[in-house]
Structure 1
Amino acid sequence: MYQEERMLHILEYLSKHQRITVEDICRIFQVSRDTARRDLVRLEEQNAIVRTRGGALLSAGPIVIPSYNDRLNTVSAEKKLIGRRAAQLVQSGQRIILDSSTTVQACAEFIEAPGCTIVTNSINQADILSNKQEISVHLLGGQLQSQHRYVYGSAAVEALSHYFAERAFIGVGSISSKGLTSLTVEEGRIKHKMMQQAEMTIVLADHSKFGRELFYKFADLSEVDLIITDRSPTPDMLELLDQHEVELWVADLSFSKELSV
């Protein structure tokens, strides 16, 4: 088992039992005490836990991501602007990969490209696209994450390796100098595989995603071709994007008015 997987399971254990000891980690994962301590040190660096003598407690303020349906109820006008702008990049006949984020779902709602083929791990995206004429939809198989409405796991990653696309549209939990991050290892792994299977990676992220970090880093900024957002980030972030040759598009209200003319 990879360290990132153990760290995720440690957090799941803590959510149920409130505390964990080094001995618990050694017993559950069949690892040495040194390995268990390294896992706890890394989790502490992520501000996910508070280390104690011989073990750890959950941090006082763990990050909680609302369910997919809860997030859909609060999809902002900014996310719809981003989705609408992104959909303009999808052309008839193209092969496209869409992940399971709500911002990418906003993109799916606006796609009108007869003859294109779309691969996704999102149940919601597949349902939306199934109602669009002349669009072929491939829904990946795998383990269902029912709360967030997507499939994941080794079967989904393996299936992705057989698809090749012109463009992948990816949502993120955060963007920082350390790269792109997500809350879970499994979500991050499938996002990264989607990026690897496409000629161009387009990240859709509203302004709140810049400058913060979540649990699992799944990609470097150098792996991104284009970011579409609703508000220009800080000068430091702009410089960072320029260093990594990442193009930035800001979908503001003027863009929305332009499309409606």
Structure 2
Amino acid sequence: MFQEERLISIINYLKTNKRITVDQICEQYDVSRDTARRDMVKLEEQGRIIRTRGGAILPTLSKDVGNYEQRLQAESSSKLTIGKTAAALILDGDYIMMDASTTVLHAATAMNSKNNVVVTSSIEIAATLARKGDTTVHMLGGVLDNQHHSVYGAKAIEMLNDYHVDKLLIGTCGITEDGLTAPNEEDSYLVRAMMQHADQVIMLADHSKFGKKLFHRVVGFESIDILITDQELSPEMKEKLLACDVEIVLTEGEITA
């Protein structure tokens, strides 16, 4: 077996078994300990593993977050379905807050309700809703994030003190049993502040977000009222959410409370 084939096999083993030792590599691939160590050094240089005493594990921290266009294309069909399901929860006359998630953008696009007032940090959502003649849009001020098409910072958080809404729609970059995570502190601070000014918090998350942990923790599940997703959750994740009284809505129409 060539080294590259062996490296792929080691990664596949780690995905199933979480950890591999030098001795296991030697035994499974009939190689020397020096060869096994070279394999682990190669995988570590590629950023695919983290070496531990006598073995290796997969990295638990997700570091790559694409720009707005890349995120908009990722899992686009799932996001579209989730967005439509979320839009159906918005009633005529509701006051809404929306973060800069690409999935929330799909909800804004799918909105058929009338006479809504929307507060948002997303320039894309603001532009989308501006085409709806009966929707009033309040755009938060602050620092413009060119990569993610949104505003952030102290000014945006200060402006939130002037608003209170019926419903907040948010996305997330990662969800584990510990809660929601984001790639940076600024995203976390703004979402936390939004939650303080909404009666109901609705989280939109496709299946690819589950099991991903990013650098900064946003909130635990106790801050979420409704989760809309596109696939059945693991028993462990479902148990955590239900323990916090989160209503789980699957886009296929199944509702678990």
TM-score bin (small chain):
0.7 to 0.9
Alignment of 1:30-69 (within 5 A): 63-69=63-69
* Maintained 8 Å contact 1:104/1:204: yes
Paired positions, count? 197
Partner of 1:84: 84
Q: Distance in 2 between matches of 1:73 and 1:211?
A: 20
Alignment of 1:90-101 (within 5 A): 90-101=90-101
Partner of 1:127: 127
The percent identity for this pair of structures is 37
Larger CA deviation: 206-215 vs 145-154? 206-215
Q: Distance in 2 between matches of 1:220 and 1:62?
A: 18
Q: Deviations over 1:152-206 (max 9, x none)?
A: 0000000011110000000011122211111110011111111111000000000
* Deviation, structure 1 residue 74: 3.5
2:133 aligned with 1:137 = no
Q: Give TM-score, length-normalised by structure 2.
A: 0.73
* Deviation, structure 1 residue 240: 0.8
* Maintained 8 Å contact 1:173/1:214: yes
Q: Distance in 1 between matches of 2:132 and 2:235?
A: 40
* Maintained 8 Å contact 2:62/2:212: no
Listed as ranges, the gaps of 5+ residues in structure 1 are 1-46, 51-58, 256-261
2:199 aligned with 1:216 = no
Partner of 2:13: none
2:93 partner amino acid: G
Q: Distance in 1 between matches of 2:219 and 2:162?
A: 20
2:157 aligned with 1:162 = no
Q: Which has the larger radius of gyration?
A: 2
2:235 aligned with 1:204 = no
SS of residue paired to 2:115: coil
2:116 partner amino acid: C
Partner of 2:20: none
Partner of 1:102: 102
After TM superposition, where is structure 1 displaced by more than 6 Å over at least 4 residues in a row?
none
* Deviation, structure 1 residue 99: 0.4
* Deviation, structure 1 residue 62: 6.5
Listed as ranges, the gaps of 5+ residues in structure 2 are 1-46, 51-58
Q: Distance in 2 between matches of 1:75 and 1:105?
A: 14
* Maintained 8 Å contact 2:62/2:215: no
SS of residue paired to 2:191: helix
Q: Distance in 1 between matches of 2:62 and 2:235?
A: 29
